Amino acid sequence: MAYLGAGRGKLLLFGEHAAVYGYPAVGLSLETALRVQLQPGRRSGWKVEGVEAEDCGKILEVLALLEKISSSGHGRGGGTVRIESEIPRGLGFGSSAALCVALSAAVASWRGEEDQRRIWEWAHRGEKLFHGTPSGIDTGLALLGGLYSFRPNPPELPAAENLKGVALHLVVGAVPRRENAGALIGGLRDKMLGGDENTSMTVEGLGKLAERAGEILRGRRELSGGESAPEILGELAREAQEYLSRLGLNTPELVRLLEQGTAQGALGGKLSGAGGGGAFFLIYPDRETAGSGARALRDLATADTLFPLSWVPSPQSPTSQMSCSG
């Protein structure tokens, strides 16, 4: 019998970097997913299929952890794990979180565990093998599905609130990363720990914008001046992007695409995630404008720009047929 699990891609809308320091964050689960098929067998250890050879070690490490924390008297298992992913890697869409959630869900199905909170906890522990001290936001979005506000609560999982108040018309894409996400996060941490006042004020500003965005998206904030919720969110995105630029997280490719998107009718946009390239999004007033905006941005795409999601059809990379064992 095969046991299945899936983890969604994610898009962080507001609060990146600030969430590390106790501020809220707002994020959205994407339709793209990573799927796992767990086939226990008589063999000792696991054979992993559908991934590159260099990824096998980390996957087997996560599997070993999940077996340990879910065992309840079960011995070490073995068999075949098949992985298929639609989520671009290394661009801020949460591919490692989706992997940990999909593996946790498959192991939970195998072990008869149905508690979503426990599955989230398992995935969060697995994500630590990738990122050391993750917030739990990425795995939450990969598991829960939808639009959420998160309030960090380290070392526990963050508090999650489902937001249903506003329809969003987004165009989502990515540009190649110029810097490693871990290095960017570490560099910012060093400045914060070193007492850099400008960095601290900028991070606080990002946190306050995430607070305001959450109020709009839960439908509790009174709108003023005749502006619609998308218009206000577009303004917040532009302001957040200015803060992120002060932290040195922009790239020329990203700036060009955000400027072009605004010229084509976007209300605002920003990077999503650690920065230095990677994911971005633009907010549009309606579906039609978002569609035309996406087409205009697609026409700008070159070897230095990628559009793996949203309105632009995503050419999926063929799944690797390599396998590994452990």
Position 224 scores a pLDDT of 62
- Are the CB atoms for 278 and 272 separated by under 8 Å? yes
Structural domain 3-163+316-325, CATH architecture: 2-Layer Sandwich (3.30)
CA distance 115 to 137: 18
Q: What is the pLDDT of residue 309?
A: 43
pLDDT for position 223: 63
CB neighbours (10 Å) of residue 4?
Answer: 14
Judging by DSSP bridges, how do beta strands 278-284 and 169-175 pair with one another? antiparallel
Q: What is the reported pLDDT for 306?
A: 62
Q: What is the pLDDT of residue 318?
A: 31
Please tell me the predicted confidence (pLDDT) of residue 104.
Answer: 98
Q: What is the pLDDT along the chain (326 residues), one digit of tens a residue?
A: 899 999 999 999 999 999 989 999 999 999 899 999 999 987 778 999 999 888 999 999 999 999 999 876 555 678 999 999 999 888 899 999 999 999 999 999 999 999 999 999 999 999 999 988 889 999 999 999 999 999 999 889 999 999 987 878 899 988 888 877 778 888 888 998 899 999 999 999 999 999 999 999 987 655 666 788 899 999 999 999 999 999 999 998 899 889 999 998 999 999 999 899 899 999 999 888 988 888 888 877 765 566 544 543 222 223 333 444 45
Q: What's this model's pTM, rounded to 2 decimal places?
A: 0.90
- Tell me if 214 sits within 8 A of 163, measured CB to CB: yes
Give the Cα separation of 192 and 212 in Å (integer). 23
For the chain, the domains span 3-163+316-325, 169-300
- Domain 169-300 in CATH 3.30.70.890: yes
Is there a contact between 143 and 103 (Cβ–Cβ < 8 Å)?
no
CA distance linking residue 287 with residue 170, whole number of Å = 8
